[in-house]
Amino acid sequence: MFDRKIPFPAFALLFMVAGATDALIYLHSRELLAVYMTGNSSHIGRDIGDGVWGDLKPLLAVIATFFTATTAGAWIAMRVGHWRPTVILLLTALLMSAATPFARGEGYPLTTVLFIAAAMGVLNQVSGKESGVTFLTGMLVKTGRAFAEGNFSAWFDGLVRWSALVAGAALAIPLDQHLGRHALLAVAAMLTLGAMFTAGHAVMRRHRARLAS
């Protein structure tokens, strides 16, 4: 189920961001992934098996950046209380914006990929109740289990997440065609919009709590 501390539109927006970011990475950096570390880990195993040691450094750099950023994001999130979603979304937007100036040319350079990987690492700490908000395979497994159990509320939850991710990936194509490298700024704007939603939601929750006490 959705984290009650994050309003429904903002949660759906997170998966749109993940889909859009993954599509942009696929278009401009197929060998170095920034959203899903499973692919990078598989590439490391492939390169070790092929004895291509020179290609390991950038892959390891991306994974290390993701891990460091998600650890730092968790540390920050545990210290900002009910502002967790807002702070994490703003940090993610900042990192996505920082990636833009380096994204010159057809392919994303390593610096851009590292900033995006850091952004995705931080984004996955937006909720303390989720193992990750950009992971699709595990979410589909949970959705299938919920459907088998007749838990249609949880099934609908998973369907919304999957649909939002697909919609985000589809949106990334025209953004890339019309904005070029500034498509990353459009993703940052989506994150900022999500931060506004969560900030307003946090204020309303605190107001209701005061009225109830």
How confident is the model at residue 131, as a pLDDT? Answer: 67
Query: How many independent structural domains does the chain possess?
Result: 1
pLDDT of 110 reads 94
* Domain-located, residue 88: yes
In a domain, 49, yes or no: yes
In which domain, by residue range, is 205 found?
8-212
Please determine, for residue 2, whether its predicted confidence score (pLDDT) is greater than 70: no
Per-residue model confidence (pLDDT) at position 123: 94
d(C-alpha 73, C-alpha 19), whole Å = 20
Separation of alpha carbons 172 and 136, rounded Å = 18
Residue 3 lies in a domain: no
* pLDDT number for residue 117: 96
Residue 172 lies in a domain: yes
Residue 1 lies in a domain: no
2 within some domain: no
Residue 180 belongs to domain with CATH number:
1.20.1250
Confidence of residue 55 (pLDDT cuts 50, 70, 90): confident
Give percent of the chain above pLDDT 70: 96
Residues in Cβ contact with 20 at an 8 Å cutoff, skipping those fewer than 6 apart: 168, 169, 171, 172, 175, 183, 186, 187, 190
- What digits encode the pLDDT tens for the residues 6-54? 777 787 888 999 999 999 999 998 788 888 888 888 888 988 998 888 7
94-104 pLDDT tens trace: 999 999 999 87
The pLDDT assigned to 204 comes to 82
Average pLDDT over residues 150-171: 87
Burial 138-150 (b: 16+ CB within 10 A, else e): ebeebbeebeeee
Q: What is the pLDDT of residues 66-84, one digit of tens each?
A: 999 999 999 999 999 889 9
Residue 152 has a pLDDT of 81
- If one compares 148 and 53, the residue with the highest pLDDT of the two is 148
Domain assignment present for residue 81? The answer is yes
Mean pLDDT score, 116-144: 85
Say yes or no to pLDDT of 189 above 60: yes
92 vs 130, higher pLDDT: 92
Q: In whole angstroms, how far apart are CA 3 and each of 30, 94, 126, 208?
A: 32, 23, 10, 18
8 A C-beta contact, residue 86 and residue 199: yes
At residue 8, the pLDDT reads 75
> Please, what is the average pLDDT of the chain?
88
Choose between 45 and 3: higher pLDDT: 45
Q: Which two tokens stand for residue 49?
A: 């098996």
- pLDDT at residue 106, rounded to an integer: 82
